[in-house]
Homo-oligomer: A and B are copies of this chain.
Amino acid sequence: MFLKFIQRYRHALLYGFSMAAVLVLLQVVEYRFLLLRNSFEIYIATIAILFTLLGIWLASRLMRPKVKTQIETIVVEKEVHVVATPSAEVNEAERAKLGLSTRELEVLVLMADGLSNQEIAERLFVSLNTVKTHTSKLFEKLDVKRRTQAVGKAKQLNIIN
């Protein structure tokens, strides 16, 4: 838990600590070297440059490894699939765990096929408003905000497909 947090936000944390360290360091030496020579500007400029470099470093750190992490996590997911899913069973377990009703599940499936609410409504012979109600509850139960996320999460949990 805690370790994972550190792992995940290690760069941000490191940045924070660096910032603190630099500030402390600069304050220690400020009286003897900088302010004596009436060079407040140099002091600020130093900080500016330092933190610009830090920003550049941060950016290069944060932008790269994203793809890698995704791939790795997905590999894990796939291993799970192999070990424990004959598809239709986990399906039911997860569905029950989340408290999804049959109707909501139907909507979810059609949603995953990329149908619009209107199309889902026509397919299920209900009104558009009804579909919206279902999707709303669906999002609530799946703890997501958008249909794209709902589909993603549902697939990940093996509720559908």
Interfacial residues, chain A to chain B (CB-CB below 8 A) = 15, 19, 22-23, 26-27, 41, 44-45, 47-49, 51-60, 63, 67, 70-71, 74, 87-88, 109, 111-116, 144-153, 161
Contacts and interface: CB of A to CB of B under 8 A. Distances in A.
Contact of A48 (B41, B51, B67, B147): B51
Contacts of A60: 59, 63
Chain copies in the assembled complex: 2
Contact of A54 (B19, B55, B70, B144): B55
Contact of A55 (B22, B59, B71, B161): B59
30 contacts: A19-B45, A19-B52, A26-B44, A47-B47, A47-B48, A49-B51, A51-B52, A53-B55, A55-B56, A55-B59, A56-B56, A58-B59, A59-B60, A60-B63, A63-B63, A70-B109, A71-B87, A71-B88, A71-B161, A74-B161, A112-B148, A112-B152, A113-B149, A114-B146, A114-B148, A114-B149, A114-B150, A115-B148, A116-B146, A151-B152
Helix, strand, loop or mixed for chain A's interface? helix
A88 B60 CA distance: 22
A148 B154 CA distance: 13
